[in-house]
Amino acid sequence: MPMQQGSSCAIITPMLDSGKIDIPSLRNLLKYHLDAGTDNLCILGTTGEASVLTMDERAQVITTAVDMVKGKMPILCGTGTINPEHVKEMTQQAIDLGCDASLVVTPYYVKPPQRGLIKHFTDTADLGLPVIMYNIPGRTKVDLTPQSTAICAEHPNIVGLKDATGDLDRVKEIRSLVSDDFLLYSGNDDTASNFVMRGGDGCISVTANVAPEEMHDLMVAALEKDADLVQQINGPLMGLHKNLFVESNPIPVKFAAWRAGLIASPFCRPPLAELDTKYYKDVETALYAAGLLDFEILGFDAKVPAMGVNSAAEGDWNYVSLNVRA
């Protein structure tokens, strides 16, 4: 199933407090996105904590996603890392297990030259799975230039780019260098609507984990160049776009998904950790502003977990009269 325009959720990998992957919660999340109209599913990216999963665990996530959504929405699987041989191994696994495309990040830390980046992407594309390149210089410390993007786009299996540079002027430049069917996705929730209105095709979104329907509607409005509707939808989401990054992704969004009753635990694998208690209010307030959570804040010492989740975290506030939007 080919990748589509619109909202792609960079989905979290839910885990139990023991650190094991929580497959029942993952299945519930996948159904949630099907019901909400998410356009593409992005598994095993940074938000999915792919860097700390084994190949067997990756297989669990992929097979669950394929079982739940294959043929209903495209499955984009993160297969990028530094070592090209490991990229090939993960990409071949994605092919064998039924994914529709791979998301391949520029190799981080080692800072390849542009010719090295081009070879990295084209070699991966030679395996046969459609490739979405991922450019995020803030994390990788290397920038795939628009000119290199255009060279890569000549490969028939390189079908798009996730751009997380934050430079909206790049949209017009890249669009002028590639074919009309080359997909341009924003990797920044806060500017995604502007990105699309300037010629992009959608976003690969963290916010969509907790607001999938809203992000789908926002991308539709942006694709239709309906500025008033974009503002109407995006305004209540701006707190989420900001506060889901108060600590390293996916720490805040896992907390948000837990507070919204979507997963059983906010656990993140080391070297990450669960959200610092000083940020609880920021994330909760953003959920409330987006219409995703209703609560009354009182000054108790424990927090009441959402929707019957068994384990309450300790902190210096308590949320009562909690109503989670179904």
Pairing mode, strands 202-205 and 293-298: unpaired
| Secondary structure class of 181 (helix, strand, coil) | coil
| Secondary structure class of 87 (helix, strand, coil) | helix
Amino acid 254 reads K
In total, the chain counts a number of residues equal to 326
* CA–CA gap between residue 292 and residue 285 (Å, rounded): 10
Query: Which among 72, 119, 162, 288 is annotated as catalytic?
Result: 162
Q: How many alpha carbons lie under 13 Å from residue 323 in its C-beta half-sphere?
A: 5
162 is catalytic: yes
Bridge partners for 297 per DSSP: 319
Query: Which among 32, 134, 185, 319 is annotated as catalytic?
Result: 134
Q: Answer for the pair 308, 294: CB distance below 8 angstroms, yes or no.
A: no
* CA–CA gap between residue 102 and residue 132 (Å, rounded): 6
Q: How far apart are the first and last CA of the chain?
A: 29
Q: Which residues are catalytic?
A: 134, 162
